[in-house]
Structure 1
Amino acid sequence: MENEQKTYRIDGFSCANCAKTFEKNVKNIKSVENAEVNFGASKITITGDATVQQIEKAGAFEKLKVVDKNQPKPEKQSFFKKHREVLISGLFMLLGFALIIINDGQNAITTGTFLISIIIGGYQMFWTGINNLSKLRFDMKTLMTIAVIGAALIGEWPEAAVVVVLFAVSESLERYSMEKARASIQSLMEIAPNTAVIKTPAGNKELPVEDVRIGDIMIIKPGDKLSMDGVIQSGSTNINQAAITGEALPAPKSAGDDVFAGTLNQSGYLEVEVTKNNEDTTLAKIIQLVEEAQQERAPAQHFVDQFAKYYTPAIMVAALLVAIIPPLLFGASWATWVYQGLAVLVVGCPCALVISTPIAIVSAIGNAANRGVLIKGGVYLETIGQSRTIAFDKTGTLTEGHPHVTDFMTYGDYDREAVLALSAALESKSEHPLAASILDFTESEDVEYSTIHIDDFKAETGKGITGTIDCKIYSIGKPENFDDADAYQSEGKTVMIIKENNTVIGLFAVIDPLRESSKAAIEKLHKMGSRTAMLTGDNEKTAGAIAGTLGIDTVYAGLMPEDKLDAIKNMQSDHKVTMVGDGINDAPALATADIGIAMGKGTDTALETADVALMGNDISQLPFTVNLSKRTLRIIKANITFSLVIKLIALLLVIPGWLTLWIAILSDIGATLIVALNGMRLLRVKE
């Protein structure tokens, strides 16, 4: 029997390296088989068994706490309480400098003042750093601990205090930056109410959502938010679904329509039958997938992780060589070069580099989620922007997905109602998207077809349907060189002909209107440098007319489902391809493309099928997604480059002996601030 997996929310992460240390500590608990920290979502998933006390002990070095989602949220701490150690340490540091000025130099009192500053601001760092050293584990706190102790040993107490205070400020900055980036995702968790008003024989009762069961009837008054997913049993209203779909305009809803947890009832009184448990609502799935997305590391994150793995030990070796080679080989001053070695340790602290990628990924994914675009991982976020071609399925993607009959005609002496009736009888057994349009048209003409008996019904994907009625074989399918179809097809209509024993007896022309947003979306994608392609089962004339209207670059027409897959592979021969479809009929093509994007409408299918889901079922969200990806790539590359260049420049100051602990720590905190602010710009991308 496999050990159970449990997930805990963690409060207090200050940096990615600390999260890794915490993960290792939890893995070392005897009863734990495996542990995986999701730094972006502030969670840990544990396979095995561990108590809350054991988990918090593993994170004691960082004062980490397990957050119980069922307990009330702790009150927000005041700024002073949250940063009291840093503030008090900073005050003692400033006092020390004031005493140096007053006394015209350093004495025992000033040294004691700086020591107090170091202890208050750095005791937690020292505890972790010394513990790491005992286990030969080298991270940022290890580097800082060695640097501060070394500075104290050579009498540089003022600079040791400055290093401690500024490093503490840097950690607070990292924590604040990540909290700000996570806020857009955590806000999703607060959208749906924790209670629901349920109709019972004894009257209406307010229950915790955990106690609400499938089949219960929720009472939703105007202005209320929905707590659970369900189907409206009675009432009509307009519902703001922005939390799920990103759509700004309210959607009209009435009896029989699906509604989602976290959406806002704007006008009517509703009775809603609950269809999903609290943990299975669409909103809950979105939150889960968005949090998991942060764990799907982007290629840039893999680079940073691998680089940092070797970078920190290399910096320690470099610092040692800087400290000992000049005095040993050239007779230089030990004090001078030990000081330079300590400065190398400080400047080598990889804070900015480590935070450069996760803060950008979390900011971008959080922003997208709040706009109704679900991106399932950093790797997908990167790849969208790298795709040179975006391929579209036609039906339900570029079009509205609600085809209707525009023209119907019969041939020979065949009666109009008779041809309509047998056509509807055949299509009633079909699941093809166009079948519903023929049934709707037939019913609008008040033609009865339910009594017609069909034998030997067959449906061949991409070809059509056949069946036997009164010993005659009837079929509905593509026109295949039927001249009368040309005029309709040149207007972008799909033509189907009805045959009796291979003789044409009727023709339907059907149109699926283009989405209003399709043309504008295609134009924006072209301006971004993307090529576009359309994959459709329609004939070349119909497909060409639609592509011409939208300005699509390449058309693949007359495709069977397996042909769509081949078309994607063909385009992938020399560049990456993104495929946009409805998440159902296009599953093979979506899976084969480098990135599969599903049109959503808040459905489970869209959530589960593709790498990205446009929850609003609106293609206008696509240019925003591509733009967000491209900007994320640029910001990640800029952050990594800037972090490394700043380190390199500071390290080059060692050659003339100009590097000081002041410059070292200021370059680190400056780089951290800049990459954090740069990454957080992705929270503000709007289009």
Structure 2
Amino acid sequence: MDQLKTRYRIDGMDCGGCAAKIETAVRRCDGVAQVAVSVAGHSMVVEHDAKTDLASLMKRVKGLGYGITPAGSSDPAPDNDGDARSASEPDKGHGAPGHVHDHAEPTQRPWWKTTKARLMLASGAAFVAALLVSQIAPGLGQWPFTAAMLIGLIPVGRRALMAALSGTPFSIEMLMTIAAIGAVFLGASEEGAAVVALFLVGELLEGVAAGKARASIQALTKLIPKTAFIEKGDGVVEVPAETLAVGDVILVRPGDRIPADGVIVSSGGSVDEAPVTGESTPVHKAPGDPVFAGTVNADAALHVRVTATAADNTIARVVKLVEEAQESKAPTQRFIDRFSTFYTPAVVLVAAAVAIVQPLVFGGEWQVWIYKGLAILLIGCPCALVISTPAAIAASLSAGARRGLLLKGGAVLESLGRITLAAFDKTGTLTEGRPQVTDILAFIGSETDVLRDAAALETGSSHPLATAILARAAADQITLPKVTDAAAIAGKGVTGTIDGAEVFLGSAGAAGAQVSLSPEQASRIRALNSQGKSVSVLLRGGAVLGAIAMRDEPRPDALSGLAKLKAMGVRTVMLTGDNAQTAQAIGQTLGIEVRAGLLPQDKQAIIREYQAQGFKVAKVGDGINDAPALAAAEVGIAMGGGTDVALETAGAAVLHGRVADVAAMIALSRRTMGNIGQNITIALGLKAVFLVTTVMGITGLWPAILADTGATVLVTMNAMRLLQAPKD
């Protein structure tokens, strides 16, 4: 029988514990084969047979206290890792079996309009009213507080019962229910009511914090304009941005946001990339340069050819990647989850022992020790402990994504902090990936004359060296003369006639075969070659007019980025397939160790060599020819540009190609792990203190719930600090 797949939208989830309860409950429904719940995506996908009672399934989830609505129709589950859809169903996401995201923007409500807020406010108001009634009519005794407690406890108790029936007997709600009911029987209804109200406050704050982390990354989607101006024929038509197709040419007016990923096709101008990349100053864009959706056209009308649809643009992929990453648990989080599985039952046993052993064995007073046992139940609630790691990781992943630092899950984030050696590719990683004119030698006339004639000969060529010469001529605003009889000489250069004179541009060897280079000219060319530069010699009328040197230059921030890594105690090395002379020249400029002339398998072997020496290695490359080395390293980091390779090949991606962002990634990891350590210390430290004071009889139910709720609030607030990334 074919399996069906049904997607649901789930509201009210704040952490992995919520997801675990829902998964456990849904798996117990008849006919359910697979369940996957995404906290970040507010979604659940269920694979089931045709006989499954979906109404009963939804009732179970609602019984646990979560909102659930169908997000799509049932359709056959795929046999592979793809996502099967009916022809009439729009593509809402992507994923593997049991892992589908609905990337439509979730409905955001102010916190005070949520169900949790209404329940918390009702319980708090009832507790205040009970305090007033007890002062006005003290003869009523504990009844006003019992009534106030029930307002909050009934929904919590119902969730506890549903969780127990669905396979999660030791839930936080169950501990709270037992403690509150026990307080009533011990004549401490006032404390029971306060405990329930404070518990609901803690739940609300946890939800607000989780929503803040989600909103931080979802806010990126709001950067993309709703409409775009597409060029059709001789006119321009305004269309919805989501309808743009690859290949469309759009007009972006000065001051407008760019509605799609694309490349400049004519003219150029400055683009403010700060909303997406964090660049502090506008970046000049020339024809052929890429632009990202959501960035702002600063000063000139741009014509952009669309390279990605709305579902696949840079921002959409970033949001998808971060949501998926938040579902990938770090080793620390997996340990905490396993620990809490045993921790909560252990707390129940300890509380029971405290309540029973002393009266039975040593003749202690039952009411006193049962009260202490109930307090220990509250102290033992694992809320703060469970949320300590995922809250920090979610905040860090969101903060990183807003800076173009994409990390595929908590495991990668945790591993980055332990990196002690960063191995960089050269071309396109430490360097721009395209040659630039570095020197112009004029042996006759001026440098402008040399550049003008060379650019004229190269007009129309797409060769990287030709592109570099043409870009320099355009930057210098040189008017190019007309060339006749232009021709390419295979393996040698290009020739043509300019102003009636025959002109040739080619390698020094090819030029030397036509005319004799003077010792001074040859010496200056050799000096440029020794710096790893390619030199083209220009001949005009049989004389050496000059020469142009080109090299793939380091990225503007490469030197400072490597310096930051070294300051953090991370050793750096360049692994490149380029020739030793060129690589050494770049390495000397950047002050980095160089190993050159390497094949992909050589790079992988060197990574293994460093690991054998005890280094924790990050491999930074373009994600294509570096694939073996990226896979071998503890963390593979792809230098981006927004390409699919950069986002999918490695464990992490520097979306905007800044070398300094590798150091920023490692710094973010170290801050995150420090934050997690602080959170765990807060969570367990407060519990330890109040456990001792409770057993000693110093504190009771009120301080016990404050210890739990207070720890949850402190842990959450501490984790949210990571949303504010430090300035570079």
TM-score, normalising length from structure 1? Answer: 0.81
Query: In structure 2, how many angstroms separate the alpha carbons of the residues matched to 1:341 and 1:144?
Result: 12
CA gap 1:78/1:406 in 2 versus in 1, 3 angstroms: closer
Partner of 1:556: 595
CA gap 1:299/1:435 in 2 versus in 1, 3 angstroms: farther
Q: Secondary structure at the match of 2:327?
A: coil
Q: Is the contact between residue 246 and residue 373 of structure 1 (CA under 8 Å) also seen in structure 2?
A: no
CA gap 1:194/1:72 in 2 versus in 1, 3 angstroms: farther
Residues 348-402 of structure 1: CA deviation (Å, up to 9, x unaligned): 0001011111111111111111111111111111111111111111222222222
Deviation for aligned residue 1:621 = 1.8
Find out whether 1:44 has 2:44 as its counterpart. Answer: yes
CA gap 1:363/1:52 in 2 versus in 1, 3 angstroms: farther
Query: In structure 1, how many angstroms separate the alpha carbons of the residues matched to 2:466 and 2:285?
Result: 25
Deviation for aligned residue 1:561 = 2.5
Find out whether 1:450 has 2:505 as its counterpart. Answer: no
Find out whether 1:18 has 2:18 as its counterpart. Answer: yes
Partner of 1:87: 121
Find out whether 1:122 has 2:156 as its counterpart. Answer: no
Residues 650-670 of structure 1: CA deviation (Å, up to 9, x unaligned): 222344233411121011111
Find out whether 1:594 has 2:625 as its counterpart. Answer: no
- Identical positions, percent: 42
Find out whether 1:567 has 2:606 as its counterpart. Answer: yes
Deviation for aligned residue 1:611 = 1.5
Q: Is the contact between residue 6 and residue 70 of structure 2 (CA under 8 Å) also seen in structure 1?
A: no
Residues 428-483 of structure 1: CA deviation (Å, up to 9, x unaligned): 99x9x889879999xx99896636499xxxxxxxxxxxxxxxxxxxxxxxxxxxx9
Partner of 1:62: 65
User: Larger deviation: 367-376 or 399-408?
Assistant: 399-408
Indicate which of 704, 710, 716 corresponds to 1:664.
Answer: 704
Residues 128-159 of structure 1: CA deviation (Å, up to 9, x unaligned): 11223445621111111111111112221011
Residues 531-583 of structure 1: CA deviation (Å, up to 9, x unaligned): 1112123455654454343333x432332332111111111111210011122
Superposed counterparts of 1:646-685, under 5 Å = 646-685=686-725
Residues 228-258 of structure 1: CA deviation (Å, up to 9, x unaligned): 3344555644333344433333333455544
Partner of 1:614: 654
Matched to 2:392, the amino acid is A
How many positions carry a matched residue from both structures? 633
Matched to 1:62, the amino acid is G
Query: In structure 2, how many angstroms separate the alpha carbons of the residues matched to 1:202 and 1:47?
Result: 51
CA gap 1:86/1:685 in 2 versus in 1, 3 angstroms: same
Deviation for aligned residue 1:197 = 4.5
Partner of 1:464: none
Matched to 1:394, the amino acid is K
Query: In structure 2, how many angstroms separate the alpha carbons of the residues matched to 1:493 and 1:524?
Result: 27
Query: In structure 2, how many angstroms separate the alpha carbons of the residues matched to 1:437 and 1:269?
Result: 24
Q: Secondary structure at the match of 1:401?
A: strand
Superposed counterparts of 1:201-600, under 5 Å = 206-232=238-264, 236-253=268-285, 256-404=288-436, 450=488, 452=490, 491=531, 493=533, 511-538=551-578, 540=580, 542-552=582-592, 554-573=593-612, 574-600=614-640
CA gap 1:337/1:261 in 2 versus in 1, 3 angstroms: same
Deviation for aligned residue 1:207 = 4.4
Query: In structure 2, how many angstroms separate the alpha carbons of the residues matched to 1:93 and 1:387?
Result: 52
Q: Is the contact between residue 312 and residue 348 of structure 1 (CA under 8 Å) also seen in structure 2?
A: yes
Partner of 1:151: 183
Query: In structure 2, how many angstroms separate the alpha carbons of the residues matched to 1:282 and 1:193?
Result: 14
Q: Is the contact between residue 564 and residue 660 of structure 2 (CA under 8 Å) also seen in structure 1?
A: no
Query: In structure 1, how many angstroms separate the alpha carbons of the residues matched to 2:110 and 2:370?
Result: 44
User: Larger deviation: 580-589 or 651-660?
Assistant: 651-660
CA gap 1:47/1:218 in 2 versus in 1, 3 angstroms: farther
CA gap 1:37/1:322 in 2 versus in 1, 3 angstroms: same
Query: In structure 2, how many angstroms separate the alpha carbons of the residues matched to 1:560 and 1:486?
Result: 27
Q: Secondary structure at the match of 2:259?
A: coil
Residues 23-59 of structure 1: CA deviation (Å, up to 9, x unaligned): 2233344454322122234333334589996675343
Partner of 1:460: none
Deviation for aligned residue 1:594 = 1.0
TM-score, normalising length from structure 2? Answer: 0.77
Q: Is the contact between residue 99 and residue 110 of structure 1 (CA under 8 Å) also seen in structure 2?
A: no
Q: Is the contact between residue 388 and residue 576 of structure 1 (CA under 8 Å) also seen in structure 2?
A: yes
Matched to 2:639, the amino acid is M
CA gap 1:216/1:601 in 2 versus in 1, 3 angstroms: closer
Matched to 2:119, the amino acid is E
Matched to 1:169, the amino acid is V
Matched to 2:670, the amino acid is K
Q: Is the contact between residue 18 and residue 62 of structure 1 (CA under 8 Å) also seen in structure 2?
A: no
Query: In structure 2, how many angstroms separate the alpha carbons of the residues matched to 1:71 and 1:515?
Result: 36
Q: Looking at both structures, which has the greater relative contact order when contacts are Cα pairs under 8 Å and sequence separation is at least 6?
A: 1
Query: In structure 1, how many angstroms separate the alpha carbons of the residues matched to 2:174 and 2:263?
Result: 57
Partner of 1:477: none
Q: Secondary structure at the match of 1:395?
A: helix
CA gap 1:102/1:453 in 2 versus in 1, 3 angstroms: closer
Q: Is the contact between residue 126 and residue 151 of structure 2 (CA under 8 Å) also seen in structure 1?
A: no
Q: Is the contact between residue 244 and residue 616 of structure 1 (CA under 8 Å) also seen in structure 2?
A: no
User: Larger deviation: 340-349 or 645-654?
Assistant: 645-654
Q: Is the contact between residue 59 and residue 65 of structure 1 (CA under 8 Å) also seen in structure 2?
A: yes
Q: Secondary structure at the match of 1:653?
A: helix
CA gap 1:54/1:236 in 2 versus in 1, 3 angstroms: farther
CA RMSD of aligned residues (A): 4.0
Query: In structure 2, how many angstroms separate the alpha carbons of the residues matched to 1:382 and 1:81?
Result: 35
Superposed counterparts of 1:99-178, under 5 Å = 99-101=133-135, 107=139, 109-134=140-165, 135=167, 137-178=169-210
Query: In structure 1, how many angstroms separate the alpha carbons of the residues matched to 2:230 and 2:53?
Result: 35
Unaligned regions of 5+ residues in structure 2, if any?
Answer: 72-102, 442-453, 473-479, 493-522, 537-546
CA gap 1:112/1:528 in 2 versus in 1, 3 angstroms: same
CA gap 1:177/1:281 in 2 versus in 1, 3 angstroms: same
Q: Secondary structure at the match of 1:190?
A: helix
Q: Secondary structure at the match of 2:574?
A: strand
Q: Is the contact between residue 290 and residue 369 of structure 1 (CA under 8 Å) also seen in structure 2?
A: yes
Query: In structure 2, how many angstroms separate the alpha carbons of the residues matched to 1:297 and 1:271?
Result: 43
Query: In structure 1, how many angstroms separate the alpha carbons of the residues matched to 2:429 and 2:170?
Result: 52
Q: Is the contact between residue 406 and residue 509 of structure 1 (CA under 8 Å) also seen in structure 2?
A: yes
Deviation for aligned residue 1:647 = 1.6
Q: Secondary structure at the match of 1:249?
A: coil
Query: In structure 2, how many angstroms separate the alpha carbons of the residues matched to 1:258 and 1:485?
Result: 34
Deviation for aligned residue 1:78 = 4.5
CA gap 1:382/1:80 in 2 versus in 1, 3 angstroms: closer
Matched to 2:24, the amino acid is K
Deviation for aligned residue 1:202 = 12
Query: In structure 1, how many angstroms separate the alpha carbons of the residues matched to 2:578 and 2:302?
Result: 42
